Amino acid sequence: MSVAAVEPFVISRTLNAPRDIVWDVVTKPEHMGKWFGPKGFPGIHAKMDFRVGGMYHYGLKSPDGSTMWGRFIYREIDPKNKIVFVNSFSDEKGGITTHPMAPTWPRQMLSTFAFEDVGPGKTKFTVTWIPLEGSSAEEIATFDERRTSAVGGWTGTFEQLEAYLADIQK
């Protein structure tokens, strides 16, 4: 599968943690369940098979008490440098579903997490998203229209990650 003909969404944050620690909190389910997801959506499930072809399956509880599920299918793992995966919303069993609040959001996104040393004890974490080829025109339009919302969502997620990193490095 290749990507759709649309500009990717890219967002970065410089974190106050060495790359080894950032890598661990992104590749171990006991950490991911503590910070990954929108603010106000605590993790309720985190199961990970971290290998090419493996899956990270996660569940979040929304402020209204409903649950939201997602999954990553890993395509490429370059230790401590980059993770490439297909990201989808899912059901409780890991099957692909539509976004619970935006049903025209692309069902499959090619996602990349990149890690770069940017100074002593600092790591730049970059997230790149792009719909996979085969996404409908409506899904691509939704992706483009929701860029501002994605910035807000990732900003909250990065804030949770920063707080978690500060807590585990005490």
What the chain holds in terms of domains, given with CATH numbers, is 9-168 (3.30.530.20)
pTM: 0.94
Give residues with Cβ within 8 angstroms of 37, minimum separation 6.
Answer: 43, 58, 60, 157, 160
Q: Please give the helix or strand (H or E) that residue 141 lies within, else none.
A: helix 137-145
Q: For residues 10 and 109, what is the distance between their CA atoms, to the nearest angstrom?
A: 13
pLDDT at 144 over 80: yes
Q: What is the pLDDT of residue 2?
A: 66
The candidate with the shortest Cα–Cα distance to 113, out of 87, 134, 145, is 87
C-alpha 50/C-alpha 7 separation (Å) is 28
What's the rounded Cα separation, in Å, for the pair 16 and 123? Answer: 7
Residue-wise pLDDT for 34-44, tens only, equals 999 988 899 99
- Which stretch of 3-7, 103-107, 109-113 has the lowest confidence by average pLDDT? 3-7
Predicted local confidence at residue 101, as pLDDT:
85
96, 104, 123, 156, 162 from 16: Cα distances, Å:
35, 36, 7, 16, 7
Q: In whole numbers, what is the pLDDT of the chain averaged over residues?
A: 94
Tokens of 129: 């998203």
User: How is residue 99 written in tokens?
Assistant: 């976004």
Share of the chain above pLDDT 70, in %: 98
